[in-house]
Structure 1
Amino acid sequence: MRHRALLTILLGASLLSAPAWAQSLRIALASEPTAVDPHYHDLTPNNALAAHIFDSLVRQDEMQKLHPGLAKSWENDGKNRWTFKLREGVTFSNGKPFTAEDVIFTFCRTLKNETKVSDSFADITGNFASVEAPDAHTLVINTSNPEPLMPNLLSALGILSASTVEHGAISYDVPKNCGVTGPWPTVNGFNDGSLAIGTGPYKLKSYVRGSAIELERNASYWGPAEPWATVRLLPVTNAGPRLAGLLAGDYDVIENPAARDLGRIKDDKRFGHVITPSTRVMYFQLDVARDQSPFVKSEDGKNPLKDARVRKAMSLAIDRDAIVKRIMDGAAEPAYQFLPTGMFGTLPNPPKLAYDPAAAKKLMAEAGYAKGFQLTLSATNDRYINDSQITQAVAQYLTQIGIKTEVDAMTRAIYFPRRAKKEFSVALGGWGSGTGEAASFLRQWPPTPNDAKTLGGSNYGGYKNDEFDKVIRAAVTTLDDAKRAELLQEAAKLVLADGAFIPLHFESGIWAFKSNLTVTGRADQYMLAMSVKPVAN
């Protein structure tokens, strides 16, 4: 306790001696979070906001390496049992102590969340056969199937306080409502602040959609105090105004300035910037299941996307190098698989996805579509870097091989719920690996959904490959790393060969900021106030 008291005094002294500006931080966001609720939608802006307010059992650093969070340690018995030792002396922002009961309540809430988008986070807890708390700071999870990535998966799950609901004895008994006797939390309660009770370094002061999110330092935070007394997160979805605001002094940090604009600040001593490669793959997901797809029109009345030759032709029509160079201004890498080469479970030498419009036209003719067909590409216009411009470029490439292509770009608040309802024929996606290995994409998007909802939660295109399903189901339950890597590589080959998912490129995260700050870029592209520090005098 004496050492902790001394640390608190030293931190307080350093804050008092810091310049006045160091107490407030203004960040311009490229994409606005859609909710404060940490379980509403498994979306990078949402997860980044949640990380300020809600801790997880395990945390990931900027390179996605695992570190203790609310759990001090964890171990697996080599089979289906995981034991987590929880941190003691932690309190929520409302003063209630953190215990294993809160974790069990959180797990239950992911399965009782009526206001979530898609099955966000239920894919983690759907594999839990039982969760027990031998004491207030020990948690034992038994899974139905072995889960080699349990700590990685739990690093994305914000822990709630059971004190936010009426309840009796909390237990992981989902059919009996886990002991909750009142209403389960809904998204509106988090957005208005009444349920935004966490153990993180910040507390929610206000959340106004389209305007600003205001955070204030959590004085009861169990970790080192942050240098910022207040943080304002401001949604500025257009890159031009973000940069203009930084240059004018309206913002301290901005996300994703256009790479072509970096020249305006590179030689200006008032500013700095950092470019960090990410694990986010941009891709198109195709409706390969329905005989009539809503945004496809062909002379024969069929859905051409069901034909593998058409899908391959579409991939061959896309010049990935040109998109990276001209639209992404070099701040990206062409993608030939779903995670950057060299990461766990990836193909060591994936075949390059070539640009060959002549071969694409030949395949179209072989498939019976020499005259082409009509197609609409659906995309966001405010979520990913240059998302609508990328989609427009792909539409032009497809039109050149006879597919008369239009683009319907919309705000992500409209797009994601519609995509979850399977309303699109070809949908733009962007997936950052939350686990740092190939299983992240391969377990979420291509599998046939299982009853537990642990696989295929985002299979909106109806893709089905029995051989792939067999391989990926084996991969995600294999604890031996070498065997799991081999299975993941085999699974990736099967998906790439079928062409139901067309990878485009891997984004890089870019941050620009005032020179009196340092910013640590993150591979997961999270914009965290915790990554921003004042430069020491």
Structure 2
Amino acid sequence: MTDEPVRVRGPFARIGAAACGALLLAAPAVAETLRIGVGAPATSLDPHFHNNGPNNALTMHLFDRLVERDARARPQPSLAESWTQLSPTLWEFRLRRDATWHDGRPFTADDVLFSFERAPAVPNSPGGFGAFLRMIARAEAVDAHTLRLHTRQPHPLLPVDLGSVSIIARHAAAGAGTEDYNAGRATIGTGPYRLGEYRAGSAAVLLRNDAYWGGAEPWSRVDYRFLPNDGARTAALLAGDVDLIDQIPTSDLARLRRDPGVTVSEVASLRTMFLAPVYSIDGNHPQVTDHAGRPLPENPFRDPRVRKALSMAIQRDALAERVMEGAARPTGQWLPEGAFGYNPAVQPTPYDPEAAKALLAEAGYPEGFRLTIATPNDRWPNDARLSQAVAQMWTRIGVRSGVEALPYAAFVPRRTRQELPMQMAAWGSSTGEAINYLVSIAGTYDRARLSGAANMWRYSDPKLDEMTARAAATLDDTGREALLREAVAYYAETMPYIQLVQLTTSWGVRKGLTHEPRMDERTVAMGVRPAPR
């Protein structure tokens, strides 16, 4: 071990305190209200309860992280002003001295220790944040504003991982449950806004934190409304009832682009949409039957030939062009081109229905079978329409498929209980690199190891786990990316989930405002500013 800091080079290198200065340049405060209409409701104000996009977008107004990720998923200083890798398994973080909680009490390293203890252990979490802390063997506060983190092995992506874990106040949250956050009792953060009001399933009111360490935001109040109906969301923007909407219905994109009072803001998304079979179901499920309606004795999706046949039956170009109306592209992996770990050699499965039928016959299903695809109908762009299109394509090869479309609030509990054998799914790799998906979605579910936290389908492949672990422990960026590309190729070959499309995300913005689109799809007031005059 050397006494000299190890300087990590590459896309996730250490960022010093000098870079933090840029974050302190805030626009002057003006007394205005910003009205936002989002398509997917948040399910909780507890920042550790559920790692999903709507919750993360809302709670990041209220809570900060040690490391923040900008609109292009690049790590930036936040509650940690700087960090240094002292050895391959030891990191030191220098914490801000000017950050205070919304109630005026000072932020300290002890709050970070408390946050790291709580984040992986929230009761009844449908998919938590433990994966981002899995490599931390020990955390210690050297003093009130110096934190040292010992990792289980070399882990160059530690700062990137920490960009996903909100820091909460020990004095406000000790003994508090998720219900205390939803009631506002524990919702005390260091973020640019403090909670004014929260109406579950309806709206939140956010009030400017004038004491924010990064400078006061331009909006004195943010009305953050949940508008899951596509038509109502577009109508609200055109009527001037809201200033910004997300998840523009693809059928409305052209119309909004023509409207002189609206600007469309868009970016290539980190979100992929895929179909996920549930591996924990053994068989004899009423939603997977033969053509006479008798449940199959075994789970057909455990056979890779069946998964590949289903993938070969999908016309992804048609999904992207017709269903998504150009707001997506076909994909065979989970990151957009140019992201760290993207493998250019992995292309979408070619459409070949005759070969798909032959593979089904080889797997023991010459006549096919019957299947129900479960999907939300209000979470991701055209989620139910995509499911219906795939169902038609699968029916053509003998897998007669129906669709069960549910509101997202009803879909999530059933998904978490693994009740639905084939599900529409999506994942946004907010870290901007490949390991996030490999650990959280494709990694074996293991609460002790904090892996597979979002693997609701219980896929497990020890070889893929080992490939992921090797890549995660490789300090050299070039070597790590090469290993990740190997893992992507292996994933495409074994096909645990059936990749469909990579999204392009768009927002509708009232003229007079500027908006910075985020690759992680989060809709946040911090990205909206009055247009220069």
Residues 240 and 86 (structure 1 numbering): CA distance in 2 closer, same or farther, change over 3 Å? Answer: same
Distance 2:173 2:331 in 1: 45
Matches within 5 A, 1:395-434: 395-434=391-430
Match of 1:449 among 445, 448, 451: 445
Aligned CA distance change for structure 1 residues 89 and 462 (closer, same or farther; 3 Å): closer
> What's the counterpart of residue 169 of structure 1?
none
Partner residue of 1:463 out of 459, 478, 481? 459
Partner of residue 113, structure 1 = 122
In 2: Cα distance, 1:254 partner to 1:467 partner:
42
1:103 equivalent in alignment to 2:95: no
Offset of residue 496 of structure 1: 1.4
Contact 1:96–1:163 (Cα < 8 Å) also in 2: no
Match of 2:141 among 123, 133, 148: 133
Q: Contact 1:391 / 1:428 at 8 angstroms: preserved in 2?
A: yes
Change (3 A) 1:333 1:293: farther
Match of 2:209 in 1: 218
Count of residue pairs the alignment pairs up: 505
Higher alpha-carbon deviation: 437-446 or 200-209 = 437-446
Q: Unmatched 5+ residue regions in structure 1? A: 1-9, 17-21, 167-183
Give the share of equivalent positions with the same residue, in percent: 39
Question: 2:135 corresponds to which letter in structure 1?
Answer: N
Structural mapping, 1:30-109, within 5 Å: 30-109=39-118
Closer, same or farther: CA 238–451 of 1 in aligned 2, 3 Å: closer
- Give the equivalent residue in structure 2 for 1:162: 170
Q: Is 1:209 matched up with 2:217?
A: no
Unaligned runs of 5+ in 2: 1-24
Whole-angstrom distance in 1 between the partners of 2:442 and 2:266: 30
Alignment pair present for 1:237 and 2:246: no
Corresponding residue for 1:535?
531
Contact 2:173 2:186 survives alignment (8 Å): no
In structure 2, relative to structure 1, the CA distance for the partners of 1:421 and 1:147 (3 Å cut) is: farther
Q: Residues 496-516 of structure 1: CA distance to partner in whole angstroms, max 9, x if unpaired?
A: 112221100111111111111
C-alpha distance in structure 2 between counterparts of 1:514 and 1:147, whole Å: 43
- Please say if 1:142 is aligned against 2:153: no
Greater mean alpha carbon deviation, residues 86-95 or residues 419-428: 419-428
Q: Output the CA distance in 2 between the equivalents of 1:356 and 1:399.
A: 14
Q: How far has the Cα of 1:289 moved from its partner?
A: 5.2
1:36, 1:49 within 8 Å by CA — same for their partners in 2? yes
CA contact (8 A) 1:281 1:505 kept: yes
How far apart, in 1, do the equivalents of 2:460 and 2:231 lie? 42
- Shifted more, 127-136 versus 457-466: the winner is 457-466
Residues 205-229 of structure 1, C-alpha deviations (whole Å, 9 max, x = no match): 1111232111010121111211111
Q: Which residue of 1 is the match for residue 264 of structure 2?
A: 273
* Higher alpha-carbon deviation: 227-236 or 407-416: 407-416
> 1:390 and 1:490 mapped to 2: Cα distance?
29
Structure 1 range deviating more: 142-151 or 216-225: 142-151
Q: Which of 164, 176, 179 is residue 185 of structure 1 equivalent to?
A: 176
For 1:271 and 1:303, how far apart are their aligned partners in 2?
49
**Does structure 2 retain, via aligned residues, the 8 Å contact 1:28–1:253?**
yes
Q: Aligned letter for 2:224?
A: L
Q: Which amino acid aligns with 2:67?
A: V
* 1:72-93 per-position Cα deviation (integer Å, ceiling 9, x unaligned): 0011134211110001121100
Matching residue within 282, 285, 288 for 2:273: 282
Q: CA deviation at 1:238?
A: 1.8
After superposition, give the CA deviation of every residue in 1:442-490 in whole Å (9 maximum; x if it has no partner): 1112222345333222333332333222211211222222221122112
Counterpart of 1:201, as a letter, is P
1:165 CA displacement:
4.4
Aligned mates of 1:281, 1:455 — CA distance in 2: 20
Which residue of the partner structure matches residue 35 of structure 2? 26
Query: Secondary structure of the residue that 1:77 maps to in structure 2?
Result: strand
Contact 2:91–2:149, Cα closer than 8 Å, also in 1: yes
Call closer, same or farther: CA 1:277–1:162 in 2, change over 3 Å. same
| Aligned equivalents of 2:473, 2:222: Cα separation in 1 | 41
Whether contact under 8 Å (1:153, 1:434) holds in the other structure is no
Alpha-carbon distance, 1:524 to partner: 0.6
- 1:468–1:55: structure 2 CA closer, same or farther, 3 Å change rule? same
Amino acid aligned to 2:376: T
Q: Residue 289 of structure 2 corresponds to which residue in structure 1?
A: 297
Amino acid at match of 2:46: D
- Render the CA deviation track for 1:32-68: whole Å, top value 9, x for unaligned: 1111110110001111111100011111111111111
RMSD over aligned CA atoms reads 1.9
Using the alignment, how far apart are the partners of 2:395 and 2:256 within structure 1? 38
Q: Which moved more, 1:250-259 or 1:461-470?
A: 461-470
Cα distance, 1:291 vs structure 2: 3.1
Partner amino acid, structure 1, of 2:197: S
SS of the residue aligned with 1:475? helix
- The CA deviation at 1:322 is 0.6
Closer, same or farther: CA 490–222 of 1 in aligned 2, 3 Å: same
8 Å Cα contact 1:149-1:435 kept in structure 2: no
Question: Shift of the alpha carbon at 1:115?
Answer: 4.0
Secondary structure of 2:112 counterpart = helix
The 3-state SS of whatever aligns with 1:318 is: coil
- Equivalent AA in structure 2 for residue 449 of structure 1: Y
Deviation of 1:337 after TM superposition, in Å, equals: 1.1
What residue number does 1:388 align with?
384
Contact conserved, 1:35 with 1:46, CA < 8 A, in 2?
yes
Secondary structure in 2 aligned to 1:312? helix
